[in-house]
């Protein structure tokens, strides 16, 4: 039944064109066997009558017009799934590379997934305690959320992601329900190894599924990597009832691979050469986070992206920010002054936190405290820019107190050790202690009842 | 060639499918593509190729599969059962899809838009012999406890009522009356009708927009009001609170019907809307908000072509309820995603791009959409309005990009959301120097009549203080506030009270989330009273530090929380306290 098509009509970048093909389907997977016996995989990306354009994942190096046999597999790109994938390592296209053999599939799933019906979604409300003061207090991570880390080359986003993965605790369920899916797209070998080692050291390696497309792996496979990872995550969450944290690094490399693929297809480029459908494409990944009614598991995403030239208006961070539910932005100045994690407070945000904090989740004063910290820290920035013009000496006494508050805030609250796991109570108390160094009338986001209870101007520093 | 003569798929590229050498399709015709009968629409015809955009995932389609035409443009079913429902971009009910295919949306689900089995309690309004024309109401039924559904003769049809069924329970497709047109043709009138989404429903006359849409949000109602039948744009970068502002407007504005279109936005946001609206009680009727709400959810991961259609589906539903004589507000979040869907499809068609890759027809599509807003006299003589509030998500938070700029041209209200305000958690983050409303002239008579000339006077003064502060802040940024003379310091302090105490509004506080106009007016009155009194003292050389020490300024900042919405008498107490404390200051 399966026919081999001999030779190709045209080769262009990672694309090959076949003529006179019958019965192929859009997005169908193909096997391409070269004369020297190597096997490559590809996918149908465009069809015009009997003319079929195929994207070859491993690249077209070595392919000539007549040294190939192409076979259409009759199904779209699928991933073999079973609970056994935990602890395994796969390449970017979902093939095992840890030498432990193939997965015996309990299920197979199309890696493109299908959209979750908005009606079936459960609105995420359970917070994840990460043990990091800035995140827990000011941009709380919620189970089922997608919260990217906007970073730049050379900043400590990997360390932060590892710390979150290590410390993330879900209060109401046991440890065995928690697992991590890690997808590396165009990551350096060292980075992938750093993640592997860190997971190993913290003893969670058996709870991690890794999909590695390293920087020297085929670029086209990079487009499949996050899809494979999310398919695995959805399986673990919605079939096996686990709480899955998906770490994807680096989304910028992914988008660049998409751009390369798009331009080789001759598509009309949009902003900075990225294809016009970049938003929809990124959304088809990010929107796979969430919780579904009637299923106990959840998919939480923590994508990492490096902003080229630290530019937050670059299309990748920009479109990501429009899709994800907030962002954690890292700041180079803080990083430079040795503060870890260098979380830039003001542009960071968690959209889902307002319903996942407060009485019954964290503490009743959480919301007011975090609003006040944001507002006060914004004033610190004003005072600093004023001080840089007229000098610190000339500032009003209130502004001087703001400067001091800003310094202590960054030193005590933002900064914490890579292994320091602060409870939410500790973080909130620390926040109040720092706010107490400011005059009481400056705290206009908090009502008097809370101030009476928590405002303690006497004990300035611990 | 006959209709439905075997047309087959020739080419496939993403959501765009082509059919070769077919003469049986017309532009914008709705078609079914492939064996799974995916919904699509014809968007281009040449003698060689017919181009179709498909509203569902095209994975697995094969050249050679059939394409069948329906003979009519993409249309929606209009009838009872629309309210309290949630649809995708082409009016397929998501709850019914969930029952059919589970939590993930399967392709080719053919579910009818309205519940066909549900019985409606119908009362007939016509008798045999009555002459009816398009828009006339022939039957009514309670669609939800607060909204009466009025079944209207489809526009373009007229004639004499031939027969009428008795009042009673009917399903949407049951004929309740028969109409004989002039040529003698008989038409059965059911509870529903169909209408093509890209064609505006006709009206008898467009009226001037003289009624405000009251939102209970101070910065909007007072500084940048919108009229019923108007159009407003809310542009803002990510994280500035577009969606939050839209939610607040949907919850509190005084329209009869709310249509909320989630166009290419987040799935979790839609589930939040669903949760919140079903819990929230409408203050006017005491019924859940969902009783007067329709949600259209085409999240960002749902097919892009349906996203493009969702905006039109929403506005068509809005016009239908307007025709019944209701005031409808439609929130479109976000029109940028819609524009991007246009761009994406235009790219697949290999059209020549204009600015930033958007197609050259972007401005005309935007203007067509916003022009469907309006205050109208309907065909049946009733008044109704459609107000459009569209969110815009500018790329890179840059307001000079094409979607924001073109939207600005076609809306008369511009509520610019500001990153700096959002960073300082000042919500709603509507920037008072960049925003504007052109509806003042239309609405001022209404404000003057219902709230008194004072309201307009207060608003002018508040505006002036904010402008003055804006100029002073330029100086403060350079040399600090200490060097300013006392009268200018007073302006800055008063503007702080206006910003923090008046413009900033807490959506989670039970009294502050919706503020009646009268309270807005009283708040302005108290703030301006303090300013006037304090200025007298300053010009009498009383140092400003002494005035600040009275704590009056901080007290006014918290006044929005301290005065419940039903205790407006308390404001007189504030005036007295200002007079007392300041006169003590003079005598001391």
> Which of chain A's residues have a Cβ under 8 Å away from the Cβ of B299?
115, 118, 283, 287
Judge whether residue B69 has pLDDT over 70.
yes
pLDDT for the residue numbered A173: 57
Residue range B131-156: mean pLDDT, rounded = 94
A296 and A399 part of one domain: no
Identify the residue whose tokens are 């920010």. Answer: A321
Nearest Cα to B215, choosing from B430, B526, B499, B460?
B430
Q: Out of A56, A76, A96, pick the residue that ends a domain.
A: A76
Shortest alpha-carbon distance between residue B130 and chain A (Å):
44
> Which of chain A's residues have a Cβ under 8 Å away from the Cβ of B62?
23-26
pLDDT for the residue numbered A175: 63
A157 and A223 part of one domain: yes
Judge whether residue B477 has pLDDT over 90.
no
Scan residues 325-364 of A and list those with Cβ closer than 8 Å to B.
325-327, 346-347, 349, 351-352, 354-355
Confidence of residue A264 (pLDDT cuts 50, 70, 90): confident
A395 and A440 part of one domain: yes
Q: What are phi and psi of A456, to 5 degrees?
A: -130, 85
Nearest Cα to B331, choosing from B232, B203, B403, B199?
B232
The mean pLDDT of chain A is: 90
> Which of chain B's residues have a Cβ under 8 Å away from the Cβ of A396?
480-482
Residue range A28-40: mean pLDDT, rounded = 91
How does DSSP assign B176-229, residue by residue?
A: -EEEE-TTS-EEEE-S-EEEETTSPPP-SEEE---SB---S-HIIIIIS--BTT
pLDDT in tens, A194-215: 998 998 888 888 889 999 999 9
pLDDT for the residue numbered A228: 95
Residue of B nearest to A269 (CA): B357
Report the distance separating Cα B287 and Cα B294, nearest Å.
Answer: 15
A12 and A72 part of one domain: yes
pLDDT for the residue numbered B272: 86
A11 and A119 part of one domain: no
**Helices (DSSP H) in B425-516: which residue ranges?**
440-451, 453-479, 486-496
Q: Is the peptide bond before A284 cis (omega within 30 degrees of 0)?
A: no
Residue range A120-129: mean pLDDT, rounded = 89
Q: How many residues does chain B have?
A: 588
Judge whether residue B76 has pLDDT over 90.
yes
pLDDT in tens, B83-124: 999 999 989 999 999 998 888 888 877 788 899 999 999 999
Please indicate if any CB of chain B lies within 8 Å of the CB of A106. no
Q: Per residue in B498-511, is it b (16+ CB within 10 Å) or e — as a string?
A: bbbbbbbbebeeeb
pLDDT for the residue numbered A49: 87
Judge whether residue A461 has pLDDT over 50.
no
Judge whether residue A460 has pLDDT over 60.
no
Nearest Cα to A96, choosing from A112, A82, A110?
A82
Instruction: Name the region of B44 (left: φ>0; alpha: ψ -120 to 50; beta: rest).
Output: beta
pLDDT in tens, B305-324: 889 999 999 999 999 999 99
Q: Out of A76, A96, A125, pick the residue that ends a domain.
A: A76
The answer to whether the Cβ–Cβ distance between B554 and A447 falls below 8 Å is no
The answer to whether the Cβ–Cβ distance between B98 and A23 falls below 8 Å is no
A190 and A120 part of one domain: yes
Report the distance separating Cα B389 and Cα B411, nearest Å.
Answer: 9
Q: Is the peptide bond before A250 cis (omega within 30 degrees of 0)?
A: yes
pLDDT for the residue numbered A174: 60
Nearest Cα to B219, choosing from B527, B492, B423, B437?
B437
- Lowest-pLDDT range, B31-45, B219-233, B270-284, B310-324? B270-284
Judge whether residue B254 has pLDDT over 70.
yes
Confidence of residue A459 (pLDDT cuts 50, 70, 90): low
Of residues B94, B356, B554, nearest to A441 (C-beta): B554
Residue that wins the pLDDT comparison between A459 and B144 = B144
> Which of chain B's residues have a Cβ under 8 Å away from the Cβ of A286?
300-301
Scan residues 42-81 of A and list those with Cβ closer than 8 Å to B.
46-50, 76
Dihedral, A395, A400, A403, A408 alpha carbons, nearest 10: 160
Residues of chain A above pLDDT 90, percent: 56
Identify the residue whose tokens are 């929809």. Answer: A280
Domain that holds residue A103: 79-355
Confidence of residue B344 (pLDDT cuts 50, 70, 90): confident
Helix (H, G, I), strand (E, B) or coil at B10: strand
Asked whether residue A459 is domain-assigned, the answer is no
A337 and A431 part of one domain: no
Instruction: Name the region of A155 (left: φ>0; alpha: ψ -120 to 50; beta: rest).
Output: beta
Residue range B218-245: mean pLDDT, rounded = 92
Report the distance separating Cα A406 and Cα A397, nearest Å.
Answer: 14
pLDDT for the residue numbered B530: 95
Asked whether residue A462 is domain-assigned, the answer is no
How many domains does the structure of chain A reveal?
3
Judge whether residue A150 has pLDDT over 90.
yes
- Cβ atoms of A92 and A211 within 8 Å: the answer is yes
Residue of B nearest to A323 (CA): B266
The mean pLDDT of chain B is: 91
pLDDT in tens, B415-441: 999 988 988 888 899 999 999 999 999
pLDDT for the residue numbered B502: 95
Residue range B510-522: mean pLDDT, rounded = 93
- Cβ atoms of B9 and B63 within 8 Å: the answer is yes
Residue A66 belongs to domain with CATH number: 2.40.10.170
Q: Per residue in B146-181, is it b (16+ CB within 10 Å) or e — as a string?
A: bbbbbbbbbbebbbebeebeeeeebbbebebbbbee
A240 and A281 part of one domain: yes
> Which of chain A's residues have a Cβ under 8 Å away from the Cβ of B297?
118-119
pLDDT for the residue numbered B382: 94
Of residues B61, B302, B551, nearest to A115 (C-beta): B302
Asked whether residue A361 is domain-assigned, the answer is no
Nearest Cα to B378, choosing from B439, B325, B318, B424?
B325
Residue of B nearest to A379 (CA): B424
Confidence of residue B564 (pLDDT cuts 50, 70, 90): very high
Asked whether residue A419 is domain-assigned, the answer is yes
pLDDT for the residue numbered A172: 58
pLDDT in tens, A334-383: 999 999 999 999 999 998 888 888 888 888 999 999 999 999 999 999 89
Residue A209 belongs to domain with CATH number: 3.40.50.12240
pLDDT for the residue numbered B220: 95
Residue that wins the pLDDT comparison between B349 and A299 = A299
Instruction: Measure Cα distances from A179 to A227, B80, B115, B368 in Å.
Output: 18, 47, 42, 50
A370 and A429 part of one domain: yes
Please indicate if any CB of chain B lies within 8 Å of the CB of A390. yes
pLDDT for the residue numbered A170: 66
pLDDT in tens, A50-100: 899 999 988 888 899 988 999 998 888 899 999 999 999 999 989 999 889
Asked whether residue A119 is domain-assigned, the answer is yes
- Lowest-pLDDT range, B347-351, B356-360, B438-442? B347-351
Asked whether residue A360 is domain-assigned, the answer is no
Asked whether residue A426 is domain-assigned, the answer is yes
A64 and A184 part of one domain: no
Instruction: Measure Cα distances from B187 to B178, B195, B430 in Å.
Output: 6, 16, 52
| HSE-CB of B195 using CA atoms within 13 angstroms | 27
pLDDT for the residue numbered B4: 46
A370 and A416 part of one domain: yes
Asked whether residue A173 is domain-assigned, the answer is yes
Q: How many residues does chain A have?
A: 462
- Cβ atoms of B294 and B328 within 8 Å: the answer is no
pLDDT for the residue numbered A1: 53
A177 and A210 part of one domain: yes
Report the distance separating Cα B221 and Cα B211, nearest Å.
Answer: 12
Residue range B376-403: mean pLDDT, rounded = 92
Residue of B nearest to A294 (CA): B103
- pTM across the whole model: 0.89
The answer to whether the Cβ–Cβ distance between B423 and A378 falls below 8 Å is yes
Residue of B nearest to A399 (CA): B480
Q: Out of A355, A381, A405, pick the residue that ends a domain.
A: A355
Confidence of residue B455 (pLDDT cuts 50, 70, 90): very high
Nearest Cα to B71, choosing from B134, B4, B135, B138?
B4
pLDDT for the residue numbered A462: 39
């Amino acid at each position: 039944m399966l026919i081999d098509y001999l030779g190709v009509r045209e080769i262009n970048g990672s694309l090959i064109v076949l003529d006179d093909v019958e019965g192929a389907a859009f997005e169908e997977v193909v096997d391409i066997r070269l004369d020297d016996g190597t096997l490559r995989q590809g996918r149908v990306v465009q069809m015009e009558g009997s003319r079929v354009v195929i994207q070859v994942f491993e690249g077209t190096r070595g392919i000539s017009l007549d040294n190939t046999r192409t076979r259409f597999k009759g199904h779209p790109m699928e991933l073999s799934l079973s609970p056994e994938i935990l602890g395994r390592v796969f390449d970017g296209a979902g093939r095992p590379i840890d030498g432990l053999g193939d997965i015996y599939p309990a299920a197979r799933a199309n890696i493109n997934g299908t959209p979750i019906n908005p009606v079936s979604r459960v609105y995420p409300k359970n917070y994840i305690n990460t043990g990091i003061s800035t995140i827990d207090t000011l941009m709380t991570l919620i189970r089922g959320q997608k919260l990217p880390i906007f970073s730049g080359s050379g900043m400590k986003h990997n360390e932060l992601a590892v710390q979150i993965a290590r410390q993330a605790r879900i209060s109401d369920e046991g440890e065995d329900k928690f697992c991590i899916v890690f997808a590396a797209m165009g990551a350096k070998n060292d980075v992938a190894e750093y993640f592997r080692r860190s997971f190993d050291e913290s003893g969670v390696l058996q709870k991690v599924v890794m999909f590695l497309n390293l920087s020297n792996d085929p670029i086209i496979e990079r487009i499949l990597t996050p899809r494979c990872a999310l398919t695995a995550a959805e399986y673990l969450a919605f079939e096996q009832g686990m709480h899955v944290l998906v770490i994807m690094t680096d989304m910028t490399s992914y988008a660049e691979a998409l751009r390369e693929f798009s331009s080789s297809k001759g598509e009309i480029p949009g902003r900075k050469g990225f294809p016009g459908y970049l938003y929809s494409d990124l959304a088809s990944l990010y929107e796979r986070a969430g919780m579904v009614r009637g299923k106990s598991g959840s998919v939480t995403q923590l994508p990492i992206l490096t902003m080229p030239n630290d530019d937050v208006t670059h299309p990748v961070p920009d479109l990501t920010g429009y899709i994800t539910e907030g962002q954690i932005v890292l700041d180079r100045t803080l990083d430079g002054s040795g503060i870890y994690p260098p979380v830039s407070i003001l542009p960071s945000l968690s959209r889902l936190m307002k319903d996942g904090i407060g009485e019954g989740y964290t503490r009743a004063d959480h919301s007011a405290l975090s609003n006040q910290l944001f507002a006060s820290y914004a004033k610190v920035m004003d005072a600093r820019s004023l001080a840089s013009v007229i000098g610190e000496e000339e500032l009003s006494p209130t502004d001087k107190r703001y400067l001091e508050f800003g310094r202590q805030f960054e030193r005590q609250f933002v900064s914490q050790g890579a292994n320091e796991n602060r409870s939410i109570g500790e973080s909130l108390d620390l926040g109040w202690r720092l706010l107490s160094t400011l005059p009481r009338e400056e705290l206009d986001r908090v009502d008097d009842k809370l101030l009476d209870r928590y405002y303690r101007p006497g004990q300035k520093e611990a | 060639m006959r209709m439905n003569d075997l047309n087959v798929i020739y080419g496939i590229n993403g959501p765009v499918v082509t059919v070769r050498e077919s003469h049986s399709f017309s532009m914008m015709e709705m078609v079914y593509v492939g064996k799974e009968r995916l919904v699509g629409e014809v968007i281009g015809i040449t003698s060689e190729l017919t181009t179709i955009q498909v509203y569902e995932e095209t994975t697995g389609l094969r050249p050679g599969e059939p394409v069948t035409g329906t003979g009519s443009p993409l249309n929606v079913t209009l009838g009872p059962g629309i309210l309290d429902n949630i649809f995708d971009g082409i009016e397929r009910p998501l709850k019914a899809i969930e029952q059919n295919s589970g939590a993930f949306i399967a392709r080719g689900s053919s579910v009818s838009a309205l519940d066909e089995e549900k019985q409606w309690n119908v009362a007939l309004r016509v008798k045999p012999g009555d002459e009816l024309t398009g828009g006339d109401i022939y039957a009514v039924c309670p669609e939800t406890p607060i909204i009466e559904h009025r079944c209207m003769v489809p526009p373009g049809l007229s004639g004499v009522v031939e027969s009428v069924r008795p009042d009673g329970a009917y399903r949407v497709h049951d004929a309740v009356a028969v109409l004989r047109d002039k040529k003698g043709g008989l038409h059965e009138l059911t509870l529903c009708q169909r209408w093509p989404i890209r064609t505006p429903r006709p009206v008898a006359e467009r009226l001037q927009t003289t009624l405000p849409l009251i939102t209970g949000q101070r910065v909007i109602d007072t500084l940048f009001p919108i009229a019923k039948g108007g159009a407003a744009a809310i542009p803002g970068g990510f994280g500035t609170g577009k969606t939050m502002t839209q939610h607040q407007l949907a919850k509190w504005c005084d329209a009869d019907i709310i249509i909320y279109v989630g166009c290419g936005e987040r799935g979790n946001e839609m589930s939040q809307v669903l949760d919140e609206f079903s819990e929230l009680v409408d203050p006017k009727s005491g019924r859940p908000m969902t009783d007067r709400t329709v949600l259209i959810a085409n999240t960002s991961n749902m097919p892009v072509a349906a996203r493009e259609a969702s905006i039109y589906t929403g506005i068509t539903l809005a016009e239908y309820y307007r025709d019944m004589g209701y005031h409808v507000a439609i929130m479109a979040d976000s029109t940028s995603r819609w524009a991007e869907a246009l761009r994406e499809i235009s790219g697949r068609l290999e059209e020549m791009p204009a600015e930033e890759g958007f197609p050259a027809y972007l401005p005309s599509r935007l203007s067509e959409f916003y022009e469907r807003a309006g205050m109208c006299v309907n065909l049946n003589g009733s008044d109704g309005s459609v107000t459009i509030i569209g969110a815009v998500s500018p790329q890179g938070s840059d307001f000079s990009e094409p979607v924001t700029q073109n939207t600005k041209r076609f809306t008369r209200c511009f509520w610019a959301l500001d990153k700096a305000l959002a960073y300082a958690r000042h919500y709603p983050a509507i920037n008072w120097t960049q925003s504007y409303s052109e509806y003042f002239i239309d609405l001022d008579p209404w404000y003057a009549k219902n709230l008194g000339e004072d309201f307009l006077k207060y608003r002018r003064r508040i505006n002036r203080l904010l402008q003055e502060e804006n100029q002073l802040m330029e100086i403060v940024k350079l040399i600090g506030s200490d060097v300013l003379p006392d009268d200018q310091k007073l302006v800055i302090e008063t503007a702080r009270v206006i910003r923090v105490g008046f413009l900033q509004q807490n959506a989670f506080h039970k009294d502050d989330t919706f503020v009646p106009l009268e309270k807005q007016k009283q708040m302005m009155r108290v703030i301006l009273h303090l300013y006037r009194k304090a200025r007298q003292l300053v010009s009498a050389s009383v140092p400003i530090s002494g005035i600040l020490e009275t704590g009056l300024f901080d007290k006014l900042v918290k006044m929005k929380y301290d005065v419940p919405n039903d205790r407006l008498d308390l404001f007189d107490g504030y005036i007295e306290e200002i007079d007392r404390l300041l006169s003590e200051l003079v005598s001391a």
